[in-house]
C-alpha cells in the first residue's frame, strides 16, 4: 500500500540496526542483583536468543521479546517483518512458538490506518507461525516501534543454545547476508525495485521450516543472525563455546548487490558497532576485501539461522534444508580453540 509519508523517515534507526551493541549491553547488565533458580537453564547472562525455564521433565518454557523501528515504508510489511523477527528467537532455540503479546509505540504523525496495517501484518505473520496474539501494550512516543513478546515451548533436552558448539561441528546459514546495507541504500533510493522486493520477502520469511528440519539432526548449537551480524553472533558462539569458528568466506551466501553498495560506503551504523565488538577476536587468512568484511559485520533484520551440527549430519542436513530454504549453505566449521575466536578463510 502507498503512504502519504514514509514510515522510515519517522525513525532515526531502522530494524535490527537499532539494536544496542553487544559489548555495550553486557557492560550495562553487570552486577545486577537477581534471583537464581536451577530451572532457569538459559538467562540473560548467557547472551542467548531467549530465556529458557524448565517446567517439568518434558517441557521447557521459552520467552523472548523483540521490537524495532520501521525498516520499510509499507506498514503491513513492517508488521510482518517485525513479527517474523521476534518469533525467530524461539525457532533459534529449537522451540515451538505458541503465544505472543504486541509491543507498540505510535506517534502523532502516524495515520490510524497505518497503525491498523502494522498490527494486521503482525497478526497475519503470527497466524502463519501458529502463534496466538493474546494481547499487548501500546504507548505514544517520538518514534514508531513494533514487535512481539513471544512464548514458546521445547523439550528441555532439545533446547539449542548459542554457547554449545563443539569441535568437529559444521556450520550452516539459512538466509543470505546484506540486508542492512541494502536497506540503507534503499533510503538513498539506490536499491533496484526487484532487489528491494527480494530482501523484503526474505525479511518477512519465517525460520519455521529451517527449525523443523534441524530438529531431526544432532544440532549442538544455534542462533539467529540479526542485529549483531554474522560476525557478532559467531563471536558470541565462539566465546561461549570455548571454540574457534572458521568461516569460509567464498561459501557464505549474500546478496551480490550489497557488495557494490558496501564498496561505495553505504554501511549502516550498526555494522561499525559490530566490528568494534568482534574484530579483536578475528583473524583473516587469505584475501577478504573490506566490502566483504562489511557484509559479514552487517546487521541483519529477521536473518537466518546459524546452525552448528555434528559433522556426520552435514550432507543430510544440507539436502533437507535445500528442500525448504534453497539459499541455505554450509559456511564453515568448528575446531578446538586456536589463537582467535573467528578465523576468516578467504
DSSP string across 221-232: EEEE--TTHHHH
> Among 310, 206, 219, 292, which Cα is nearest to 252's?
292
Domain ranges in the chain? 7-158, 169-345
pLDDT at site 259: 97
Q: Which fold has domain 7-158?
A: 60s Ribosomal Protein L30; Chain: A; (3.30.1330)
Q: What is the pLDDT of residues 276-310, one digit of tens each?
A: 999 999 999 999 999 999 999 999 999 999 999 99
pLDDT on residue 19: 61
Model confidence at 28, pLDDT cuts 50, 70, 90, reads: confident
Q: What percent of the chain has pLDDT over 90?
A: 85
As given in the structure block, the three cell numbers for residue 346 are: 578467504
The alpha-carbon radius of gyration of the chain (Å, integer) is 19
Q: Where are the beta strands (DSSP E) in the chain?
A: 40-42, 51-56, 59-68, 96-106, 132-140, 145-154, 169-173, 219-224, 243-248, 282-285, 305-310, 329-336, 342-345
Which pLDDT score is estimated for 14?
60
CB 206 within 8 A of CB 310: no
16 tagged catalytic: yes
**Predicted local confidence at residue 318, as pLDDT:** 96
CA-to-CA distance for 74 and 201, rounded, in angstroms?
A: 13
* Least reliable range by pLDDT among 14-28, 51-65, 111-125: 14-28
Nearest to 304 by CA among 195, 176, 112: 176
Instruction: Give the whole-angstrom CA distance, residue 337 versus residue 238.
Output: 8
Note the CATH architecture for domain 169-345: Alpha-Beta Complex (3.90)
Q: Would you state the pLDDT for residue 1? A: 38
pLDDT digits (tens, 9 = 90+) for 59-86: 999 999 999 999 999 999 999 999 999 9
Band of pLDDT at residue 3, cut at 50, 70 and 90: very low
pLDDT at position 16 is: 52
How far apart are the C-alpha atoms of 77 and 75, rounded to whole Å? 5
Distance in angstroms (rounded) separating the CA atoms of residues 260 and 206: 27
Q: Which of these is catalytic: 13, 16, 105, 235?
A: 16
pLDDT digits (tens, 9 = 90+) for 163-178: 999 999 999 999 999 9
The predicted model scores a pTM of: 0.92
Distance, in Å, from the CA atom of 234 to the CA atom of 223, rounded to the nearest integer, reads 9
The reported pLDDT for the residue numbered 78 is 97
Give the mean pLDDT of the chain.
93
* Nearest CA among 311, 19, 9, 10 for reference residue 171: 311
Which of 59-68, 93-102, 187-196, 291-300 shows the lowest mean pLDDT across its residues? 187-196
Q: What is the pLDDT of residues 215-253, one digit of tens each?
A: 999 999 999 999 999 999 999 999 999 999 999 999 999
Nearest residue to 73 (alpha-carbon basis) of 143, 10, 142, 138: 10
Question: At CA 294, angle to CA 196 and CA 201, rounded to 5?
Answer: 20
Which residue is it, cell 528441555? 156
Give the model's pLDDT for residue 113. 94
Amino acid at each position: 500500500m502507498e503512504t502519504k509519508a514514509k514510515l522510515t523517515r519517522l525513525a532515526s534507526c531502522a530494524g535490527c540496526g537499532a539494536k544496542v551493541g553487544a559489548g555495550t549491553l553486557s557492560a550495562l547488565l553487570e552486577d545486577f542483583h537477581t534471583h537464581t533458580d536451577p530451572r532457569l537453564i538459559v538467562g540473560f547472562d548467557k547472551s542467548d536468543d531467549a530465556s529458557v525455564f524448565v517446567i517439568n521433565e518434558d517441557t521447557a518454557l521459552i520467552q523472548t521479546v523483540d521490537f524495532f523501528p520501521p525498516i520499510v515504508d509499507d506498514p503491513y510489511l513492517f508488521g510482518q517483518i517485525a513479527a517474523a523477527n521476534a518469533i525467530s528467537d524461539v525457532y533459534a532455540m529449537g522451540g515451538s512458538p505458541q503465544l505472543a503479546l504486541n509491543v507498540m509505540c505510535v506517534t502523532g504523525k502516524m495515520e490510524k490506518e497505518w497503525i491498523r496495517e502494522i498490527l494486521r501484518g503482525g497478526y497475519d505473520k503470527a497466524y502463519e507461525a501458529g502463534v496466538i496474539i493474546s494481547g499487548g501494550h501500546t504507548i505514544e512516543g517520538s518514534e514508531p516501534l513494533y514487535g512481539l513478546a513471544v512464548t514458546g515451548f521445547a523439550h528441555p533436552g532439545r533446547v539449542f543454545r548459542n554457547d554449545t558448539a563443539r569441535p568437529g561441528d559444521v556450520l550452516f546459514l539459512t538466509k543470505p547476508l546484506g540486508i542492512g546495507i541494502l536497506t540503507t541504500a534503499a533510503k538513498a533510493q539506490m536499491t533496484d525495485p526487484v532487489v528491494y522486493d527480494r530482501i523484503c520477502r526474505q525479511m518477512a520469511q519465517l525460520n519455521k521450516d529451517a527449525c523443523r528440519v534441524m530438529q531431526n539432526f544432532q544440532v549442538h548449537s544455534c542462533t539467529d543472525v540479526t542485529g549483531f551480524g554474522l560476525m557478532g553472533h559467531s563471536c558470541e558462539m565462539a566465546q561461549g563455546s570455548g571454540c574457534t569458528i572458521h568461516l569460509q568466506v567464498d561459501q557464505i551466501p549474500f546478496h551480490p548487490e550489497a557488495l557494490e553498495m558496501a564498496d561505495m560506503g553505504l554501511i549502516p551504523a550498526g555494522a561499525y558497532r559490530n566490528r568494534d565488538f568482534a574484530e579483536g577476536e578475528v583473524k583473516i587468512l587469505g584475501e577478504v576485501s573490506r566490502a566483504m568484511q562489511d557484509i559479514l559485520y552487517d546487521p541483519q533484520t529477521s536473518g537466518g539461522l546459524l546452525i552448528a551440527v555434528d559433522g556426520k549430519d552435514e550432507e543430510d542436513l544440507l539436502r533437507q534444508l535445500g528442500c525448504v530454504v534453497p539459499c541455505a549453505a554450509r559456511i564453515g566449521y568448528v575446531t578446538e580453540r586456536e589463537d582467535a575466536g573467528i578465523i576468516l578463510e578467504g
